[in-house]
Every structure is written in structure tokens, then in C-alpha cells.
Amino acid sequence: MASLANTTAGAVAGARKISNGKPIPFVSSKSLSFPSFRPSISSLKPLIPTKFSSLSPRQCSPNPSPSTSPPSLKSRLRNGETLYGIFLLSFSPTLAEIVAFSGYDFVVIDMEHGPGGIHESLQMLRAVATTNTPAIIRLPESSAVWAKKALDLGPQGIMFPMIDSPKDAKKAVSYCRFPPNGIRGSAHTVVRASNYGINEGYLSNYKEDLLIMCQVETVDGVKKVEEIAAVEGVDCIQMGPLDLSASLGYLWDPGHKKVREMLRTAEKEVLKSDRKDGGAFLAGFAMPHDPPGALGKRGYHMVSGAIDVGLFRNAAVEDVRKFKISLNADSNDSDDDKDSDEKYWSE
């Protein structure tokens, strides 16, 4: 042990000298100073007011520059863009990564109906981070605990389900803010949302950067939707057409006339709110009878048009269908060829 200590001491002493024998100043970790660093996002194309943004596949930006931080979802909405996104229910990082490279404006990581929890959501966030695709986490329920754990992961937005009153909306906002403005628990010095404490400006910017979305998806919620949209801190009202149809007694018929009428009523109440004076934007999910383009024309500024599981299901079903059709076609072709051969030889 003594010889090892002597050898180590000699090596350290030697490392402090250069070839001419002059000592090199010893630098301790305490004397090092690192600038505050916050990973940025590659710049986006010019914003296109009142229309869907031009969607195109993204390229990976492994070395982003701090000077090219793009606008957040919140600022893009305020600039008049209509954004197009997709819900991720599979919790497959591979599918999430493909989706991110495809060029969607945002993704919604769905903990309400998907099988994943906080750990799986973290993997999804990391998958879409390669292209700096903004992610929103939909909570399984509107609660302080779920909101705290989701927000610590650092999504750009958070979606609260089943908001039926202004009181519910105020609680949701309080879950997103630190005291004295809310009740969010704090570990901002070490969580991913602040780049594990490296982003020293997190506490100054988190309120401005975070998009808070409240889902209105019941008859009671629609009756109070104007008041919900006016709650300070609520940025978007996300309509839920399937749950709304169930609330009206038409679970199997979301395209029913009464469901559509109720949805139009809610849309008008949200759209008439003054967004410059704290009003909310309108967000929604497309349905077979109500495609994405129709929502955009009616004033929705955030439109989700697909679900990763649904896209894969449709592709799989179509793949099987085409194969079975090809088998029938080959069978018919073989019969025709046999008839042709028989006719040829009989002649």
C-alpha cells in the first residue's frame, strides 16, 4: 500500500510539470466555472397565420445552437398558427421517434388511455427530443400528484381530463404553479424540467413556456365552458367528442345530430373569448365524420388527427386485406391460364 501511495504521489507531482520543468498550476473542480446551458431547438419555418403549418419530415439536430431557439407552442398559437398533432397511446419509443421525424407540430403522450405511466412517459419524451418535437402529457386524472410528477419530466404542455367547472380549472392551474401562486411541489434543482438544475432560468420562465390545457367532455362542462375558458392560466380548451357523446347518451354514435349541436355550442363559447385578455384557444380531435380540415376551418388552433395505435391498426388491417385479395386474384389468374393452356393444346 505504501509503494502504491508513493507511486501515485509521484505521478501527480510529475503531471504538474511540463517538459521544461516549470510547474503547471493545479486546477480544482471548485475553481472551474461553467456557463448556464439550456438545450435549444432548431429554428422552424416562418409561421403561417390561420392555416395549418407546413408539415414536413424533421432532421435530427445533435448540436443545437442557443441562438436558434424556436417559439414555444404557446407563442405559435398567439402568432395565429393552426398546429397539427398526434396522440401517442402505444408508449413505444420507436413509434414516437418515427412520429417525431414525420413533422407533426406536437405530440400528446396519453397517460389517460394509454398503458404507460411516468417512467414510460420519460422514454417517450426522450424519443421525440431528438427532433425537438414539443410534447404534451395527458394526465390519467386531474390531481396535484399526477401533475407534479408529469411536470417534473419537462413536457411543453399538460392536459387535464374531465374539467367540468371553473373551480376544476382553477385547481388544475394551481397544480402547475409553485407557491404562493399554486401548490406544485418543488424539486426544480434536480428534475428534468430544469435540465436537472443546469437551466438557471427555469423558475423565471416555466409559467410562460408551459401550455395548460383543460378537457371539456361532458354536458356539465359545456354548460360552463365559457367560464372555464376565462380562468386565468388556462391556455386551451380541448374538446372531447367521444366522452361528450357518451355524456349525451350516444356512446355508439358520436356523429349524432345532438352531439354535433352540443359541440358547436361549446366551440362558439370558446371562440368568442378574448384571447388577448386571457381567453383560451380551441383544441380538438378529429373524427371520421369530422376530419382535421373541418376543425381548422371552424377555428380550432390545435388539431389532433390520429393516434399511433390507430394508424398502425389501419395499416395492419389493410396489409392483410391486400394479401387476401392477391391470393384470390392469383387463383383466378391460374384458372384462366389453365383454360388458356387447354384451349391451346386442344387446338
CA distances in angstroms from 155 to 112, 253, 307, listed in the order given = 16, 34, 19
136: helix, strand or coil: strand
Going by C-beta distance under 8 Å and a sequence separation of 6 or more, which residues neighbour residue 180?
none
Q: How far apart are CA 159 and CA 147, in angstroms?
A: 9
Q: How far apart are CA 222 and CA 227, in angstroms?
A: 10
Q: How far apart are CA 283 and CA 270, in angstroms?
A: 10
Enumerate the H helices of 16-78 as residue ranges.
Answer: 73-78
Cell numbers 380538438: residue: 284
Q: How far apart are CA 220 and CA 172, in angstroms?
A: 17
Active site residue 113: yes
253: left (phi over 0), alpha (psi -120 to 50) or beta: beta
C-alpha of 25 from chain center: 49
- Of 113, 119, 289, 301, the active-site residue reads 113
Please report which helix (H) or strand (E) contains residue 282, including its range. strand 281-285
Catalytic residues: 113
